[in-house]
Amino acid sequence: MISLFIVVVSFCLSVNDVQAKDYGDPAVDVNTQIYDDRTVDAIIQKDVYQLMNTVVDVIVADEDGTEDKTSTGSGFIISEDGYIVTNWHVIDSSDSVRIATSDGKKYIAQVVGKDEYDDVALLKIDLSKSARLLPVKFGDSDKVKVFDRVIAVGNPFGLGKTATPGNILRKDGNFDQVPAFGENKQFSSYIQANVNINYGNSGGPLFLEKGEKVIGMITAFIPGSGICFAIPSNLLQKIIDQLKVFGKIRRSWLGISACKMPSDASSILLGRSDGYYVANVSEESPAMSAGIQDGDIILQVNNKDINKKINVEYLLNNLPIDKVIPIQIMRDGKKRMMSIRVKDYNDEDISFLDETDNLIKDIPYEQIEISGLVLRLADICNLTKKVKKKFRISSDDSGVFILFVGSSSSDNSSVRVGSLISQVNGKRISNLIDLKAALESTKGKNGVVLYVKDPLMIKNPEFVVINCGNEKSQKKEFSR
């Protein structure tokens, strides 16, 4: 099996090794490389240098503030009054952010807002001393086509700006479709291009060669493959607009736990693969007020059909807040149209304790094995207040809590410590007794379907299908 390794493209290096360059006149910058390829047919070198003037070096000091622990990434100017956009992972956990522009000037940057979910950070500097620097122009990422020529500009390895050409390979992809991208990241969508970038290009712009407009922001690449991924410009601009006003992203909330159903799960439970299966509706939520029930299948949201190509998570997180939208569901084999008022998801800040093991080590559990998948599970009623707070488990949640995951067979990355198993083969469970009874009833069947949801919302709720084997249950108390 070929393992795919994708890197989020920030790059850490010591300022003792590489200092921010005084670039002088960008037109004669000796550190700048131009890879002509076929770009000379569309853009003369002077125009490429002008594009480079919109790109900055983002230099980030670690929390201890020492100069020998600094990371360098890229960013680009988006307004004349000094707004700069880069990746969230470039500035994450930093106390100090500095900007070096292409004319050699350096600035202390203010962090205006951050969106960890989509990996975007908005910075602000005073550009009064650099009046000749101009912001980028945004293009319409919805209109780009496969094979369109693009140019990625950035500061790889902190050694100077480069302009690298390539082509669009794919648009409107989902990062959850890319193996091993990183389970803590769930980007809404991406543009894939065959641009050979390096560490430090993170946060740099992806220009459309024709028209010289930004159609994406570089955020990840596959080392040695010449493949990179960019956040589409249309999504990026929406994020920027909210970060300017709120400093964070307002995400919509319907109050449902649901997921797309893989074909093998749907064949066991429903006999069909269309739609989005609703496993749980929160109390006093917009969905409950609208009459949506457990077991409904959502076919359409705000006049958009739910299918395998659409990013349902992004759609549900970005509905118009405080607006009434139509939703089409299927219940008991019949289609119904319903109206639902969208609310704002209150993403309250919670101070998580660092040592998860210390929190859960004394919780009584039972160890269950399902065809090589070893799970240590606990009833929610046995969880402490600190554990419930850390993993955002509310009074509405039901099921059993996962303390440990081990597998001697296939990878089941959807089954995570801190997640809840709330259904087994379509049967809702409230505790370990229910779970064991449900597993007992699966004997002789082709598969076990677990409905796993993550209260932290790091991952969407998912159906996990496990080929049936011999289930073993072992009682354990106060040990780990």
What are the residue numbers of the active site?
A: 89, 119, 202
Strand bridging mode 96-100 / 106-108 = antiparallel
How far is it, in rounded angstroms, from Cα 355 to Cα 217? 35
Nearest 5°: the CA angle 443, 450, 188 is: 155
Yes or no: say if 99 and 75 are a contact pair by the CB < 8 Å rule: yes
How far is it, in rounded angstroms, from Cα 162 to Cα 165? 10
DSSP 259-288: EE--HHHHHHHTS---SEEEEEE-TT-HHH
How far is it, in rounded angstroms, from Cα 141 to Cα 411? 35
Compute CA distances 322 → 244, 286, 289, 292, 317, whole Å. Answer: 20, 10, 14, 18, 13
Strand bridging mode 33-34 / 110-115 = unpaired
> At a CB cut-off of 8 Å and minimum separation 6, what does 162 contact?
32, 33, 35, 153, 154, 155, 156
The residues with which 467 forms a beta bridge, in sequence order, are: 447
State both tokens at 72.
């360098």
How far is it, in rounded angstroms, from Cα 116 to Cα 113? 10
54 closest CA partner among 89, 97, 99, 11:
99
**421: amino acid identity, one letter:** I
Nearest 5°: the CA angle 150, 151, 152 is: 125
**295: amino acid identity, one letter:** G
Give a three-class secondary structure readout of 196-214.
CCCCCCCCCEEEECCCCEE
